[in-house]
């Protein structure tokens, strides 16, 4: 069952489908698998190599699918197992690989495993979850905090013990230190591999293992208490434990048996880039991983230079995946926009940078349209994370609103029903797919061209990355592969910026994606938020030390 091209994932473009918001086929206001099938041609036209399909499993939807109550059934609101099989076949018929979420760190409290675990302390699944006795005064076993607020422990009256939950109370943490629990998770993975999936996106890798002694976390002085108390601790013991590597090795071994790939999500905790490389080094752990770290940072000149520097420091032994937007953060078109006002020129710059970095690129649905984040009222919020922290943090729903397909259709073509699960705003309607299809300057058309440009230059897929020493507002790097050198330079300013190409080396401007810079002798002028791609004869002298 090994694929013909085992390394297809290196430098691939993965398109993330959040099925609730992709397309609704039955009018209930929630996207589903049949809707996803209906729009796979859109994904294929982009040039994506694979899709990452977010959870569609049975779930009470407390965390919108990341609280799984049955790993091997399809939630009725998304369709049936026959619909999933049809989606898989339709994707493969278009040459698109399919990765699905493997949520391994926790389940729903309604999962049969948890119901059996909480029922008795001496059953087959009694140790499938992380249980601990109260302290003598009845308080939780230690000071660990939940990402979603409050203690990371909930008391269960049936077992007279606390159970660990890193997120919602209804998401008890699996005890993957128990071989039987890990075997059960691997059996879930094998079930889907046997159905023909091409790999897994592993949710929240840093939370898969913890200190077995349950030592408390030290404080991380933050001054005035922030809205999210999770940031007031140094997370030395509740996550990022070395036992994670053993768990990943077991998952990798299963994936290798089927020629499948693994993509891990790494948190934004300190050392994230190093962990990405450590988790993906060699053949015993993940194939690739991405970190939420850049999604938490800004996009000014010093920050982007630091990002490139961290990539260089982390080394090139592993394989990173880059994601600028996803279902857990505000959309990049808003989050990183100058002054908070989305600008298509800046959005195109982000796409050009994303598709030029060393690693695999993940494009979140709607990112190819330059969709901004949606401002929702408290009454419209559905995300439990947002409801808990409103108004300081308004949750993740602003990046999860439905895809706009047709500007003149009701609900922008997302659903034929009266009410989508989240509202569709006018600023999304005028960016609908059909509008952008007919506009040669649209973000959609640019994204397609940039993906094609990437695939036309192997150095952008396989090459090493070395940062260039450029003055503000320019940042840049060289991608080098088998004697080919492609220089990538980006203007982070809303004003034109010049660069003396003679300082870079003998360069030939590469056409085919970004607007061609103005050339005057050896000097090039980059448009506001413009990019320059050129082929070099030799490696430039402006390279920063690795």
Q: What's the pLDDT score for residue 537? A: 76
- Are residues 469 and 443 both part of a single domain? no
Q: Is residue 214 part of a domain?
A: yes
**What is the pairing mode between strands 199-202 and 97-102?**
parallel
Q: Is residue 167 part of a domain?
A: no
Please identify which of the residues 101, 265, 278, 367 carries the catalytic annotation.
265
Tokens encoding 179: 């071989």
Share of the chain above pLDDT 90, in %: 85
Which strands form 161-164's sheet, in the order they lie side by side?
131-132, 161-164, 153-156
Q: How far apart are CA 200 and CA 187, in angstroms?
A: 13
Q: Is residue 126 part of a domain?
A: no
- Are residues 378 and 242 both part of a single domain? yes
Tokens encoding 503: 């300082």
- Are residues 75 and 49 both part of a single domain? yes
| Phi–psi pair at 375, nearest 5 degrees | -85, 120
Q: Is residue 212 part of a domain?
A: yes
CB 424 within 8 A of CB 402: yes
- Are residues 447 and 509 both part of a single domain? no
Q: Is residue 82 part of a domain?
A: yes
Tokens 């569609």 identify what position?
Answer: 56
Q: Is residue 39 part of a domain?
A: yes
Tokens encoding 364: 């979140």
Tokens encoding 117: 């675990």
CB 148 within 8 A of CB 173: no
Give the CB-side neighbour count of residue 439, counting CA atoms within 13 A: 15
Q: Residue 436: helix, strand or coil by DSSP?
A: helix
83: annotated active-site residue: no
Residue 208 DSSP code: S
Q: How far apart are CA 261 and CA 294, in angstroms?
A: 23
pLDDT tens for 123-173 read 999 999 999 999 999 999 999 999 999 999 999 999 999 999 999 999 999
Cβ partners under 8 Å of residue 44, min gap 6:
94, 95, 96
Q: Is residue 193 part of a domain?
A: yes
**What is the pairing mode between strands 70-74 and 97-102?**
unpaired
Q: How far apart are CA 192 and CA 262, in angstroms?
A: 13
Q: How far apart are CA 263 and CA 250, in angstroms?
A: 14
Q: Which domain holds residue 282?
A: 13-108+179-454
Q: Which run of H or of E encompasses 363?
A: strand 360-364
Among candidate residues 403, 427, 454, the one where a domain is terminated: 454
User: What count of other Cβ atoms lies within 10 Å of the Cβ of residue 514?
Assistant: 25
pLDDT tens for 29-43 read 999 999 999 999 999
Among candidate residues 454, 488, 520, the one where a domain is terminated: 454
383: annotated active-site residue: no
Q: Please tell me the total count of domains within the chain.
A: 2
Residue 527 DSSP code: P
- Are residues 291 and 374 both part of a single domain? yes
- Are residues 355 and 469 both part of a single domain? no
Q: How far is CA 330 from the centre of its chain?
A: 12
- Are residues 293 and 380 both part of a single domain? yes
Torsion of CA 225, 228, 232, 235, to 10 degrees: 180
Please identify which of the residues 24, 62, 203, 368 carries the catalytic annotation.
203
CA neighbor of 544 nearest in space, from 458, 471, 460: 471
| Phi–psi pair at 68, nearest 5 degrees | -80, 130
Cβ partners under 8 Å of residue 77, min gap 6:
28, 30, 32, 61
Q: Is residue 66 part of a domain?
A: yes
Q: What's the pLDDT score for residue 413? A: 98
- Are residues 436 and 525 both part of a single domain? no
- Are residues 297 and 428 both part of a single domain? yes
| Phi–psi pair at 322, nearest 5 degrees | -115, 135
Residues in the chain: 546
- Are residues 369 and 281 both part of a single domain? yes
Tokens 């905790």 identify what position?
Answer: 269
Give the helix ranges, DSSP H, for 208-343.
Answer: 244-257, 272-280, 293-296, 301-314, 332-335
Instruction: Return the CATH number at 486.
Output: 2.60.40.1180
pLDDT tens for 198-248 read 999 999 999 999 999 999 999 998 767 788 899 999 999 999 999 999 999
Among candidate residues 411, 426, 454, the one where a domain is terminated: 454
Question: What is each CA distance from 522 to 192, 297, 525, in whole angstroms?
Answer: 55, 35, 10
Q: pLDDT 10s per residue in the chain (546 long)?
A: 333 478 999 999 999 999 999 999 999 999 999 999 999 999 999 999 999 999 999 999 999 999 999 999 999 999 999 999 999 999 999 999 999 999 999 999 999 999 999 999 999 999 999 999 999 999 999 999 999 999 999 999 999 999 999 999 999 999 999 999 999 999 999 999 999 999 999 999 999 999 999 999 999 987 677 888 999 999 999 999 999 999 999 999 999 999 999 999 999 999 998 999 999 999 999 999 999 888 777 899 999 998 888 777 766 789 999 999 999 999 999 999 998 889 999 999 999 999 999 999 999 999 999 999 999 999 999 999 999 999 989 999 999 999 999 999 999 999 999 999 999 999 999 999 999 999 999 999 999 999 999 999 999 999 999 999 999 999 999 999 998 999 999 999 999 999 988 877 777 888 776 677 877 777 889 999 999 999 987 766 566 644
Q: Residue 479: helix, strand or coil by DSSP?
A: strand
Q: How far apart are CA 454 and CA 457, in angstroms?
A: 6
Tokens encoding 176: 């993957």
């Amino acid at each position: 069952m090994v694929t013909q091209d085992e390394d297809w994932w290196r430098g691939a473009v993965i398109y993330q489908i959040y099925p609730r918001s992709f397309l609704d086929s039955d009018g209930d206001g929630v996207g589903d698998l049949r809707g996803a099938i209906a729009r796979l041609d859109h994904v294929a036209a982009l040039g994506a190599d694979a899709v990452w399909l977010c959870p569609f499993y049975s779930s009470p939807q407390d965390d919108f699918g990341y609280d799984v109550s049955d790993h091997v059934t399809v939630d009725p609101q998304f369709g049936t197992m026959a619909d999933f099989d049809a989606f898989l076949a339709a994707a493969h018929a278009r040459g698109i690989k399919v990765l699905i979420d493997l949520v391994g760190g926790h389940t729903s409290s309604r999962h049969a495993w948890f119901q059996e675990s909480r029922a008795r302390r001496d059953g087959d699944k009694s140790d499938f979850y992380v249980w601990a006795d109260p302290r003598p005064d009845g308080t939780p076993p230690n000071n660990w905090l939940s990402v979603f607020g409050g203690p990371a422990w909930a008391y269960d009256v049936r077992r007279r013990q606390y159970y660990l939950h890193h997120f919602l109370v209804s998401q008890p943490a699996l005890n993957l230190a128990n071989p039987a629990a890990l075997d059960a998770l691997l059996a879930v993975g094998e079930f889907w591999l046997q159905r023909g999936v091409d790999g897994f996106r592993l949710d929240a890798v840093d939370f898969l293992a913890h200190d077995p002694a349950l030592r408390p976390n030290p404080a991380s002085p933050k001054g005035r208490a922030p809205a999210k108390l999770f940031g007031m601790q140094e997370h030395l013991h509740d996550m990022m434990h070395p036992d994670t590597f053993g768990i990943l090795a077991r998952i990798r071994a299963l994936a290798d048996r089927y020629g499948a790939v693994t993509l891990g999500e790494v948190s934004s905790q300190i050392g994230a880039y190093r962990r990405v490389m450590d988790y993906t080094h060699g053949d015993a752990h993940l194939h690739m991983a991405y970190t939420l770290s850049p999604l938490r940072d800004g996009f000014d000149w010093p920050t982007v230079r630091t990002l490139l520097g961290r990539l260089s420091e982390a080394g090139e032994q592993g394989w990173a995946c880059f994601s600028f937007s996803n279902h857990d953060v505000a959309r990049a078109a808003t989050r990183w926009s100058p002054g908070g006002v989305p600008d298509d020129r800046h959005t195109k710059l982000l796409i050009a940078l994303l598709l030029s970095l060393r690693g695999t690129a993940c494009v979140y649905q709607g990112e190819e349209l330059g969709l901004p984040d949606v401002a929702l009222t408290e009454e419209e919020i559905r995300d439990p994370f947002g409801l808990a922290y409103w108004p300081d943090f308004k949750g993740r729903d602003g990046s999860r609103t439905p895809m706009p397909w047709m500007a003149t259709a009701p609900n922008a073509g997302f659903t034929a029903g009266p009410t989508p699960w989240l509202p569709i705003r006018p600023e999304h309607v005028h960016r609908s797919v059909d509008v952008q299809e007919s506009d040669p300057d649209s973000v959609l058309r640019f994204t397609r061209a940039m993906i094609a440009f990437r695939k036309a230059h192997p150095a952008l897929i396989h090459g090493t990355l070395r940062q260039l020493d450029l003055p503000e507002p320019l940042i840049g790097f060289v991608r080098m592969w088998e004697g080919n050198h492609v220089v990538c330079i980006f203007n982070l300013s809303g004003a034109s910026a010049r660069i003396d190409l003679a300082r870079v080396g003998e360069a030939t401007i590469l056409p085919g994606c970004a607007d061609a810079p103005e050339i005057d002798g050896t000097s090039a002028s980059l448009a506001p938020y413009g990019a320059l791609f050129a082929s070099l004869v030799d490696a430039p002298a402006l390279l920063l030390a690795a």
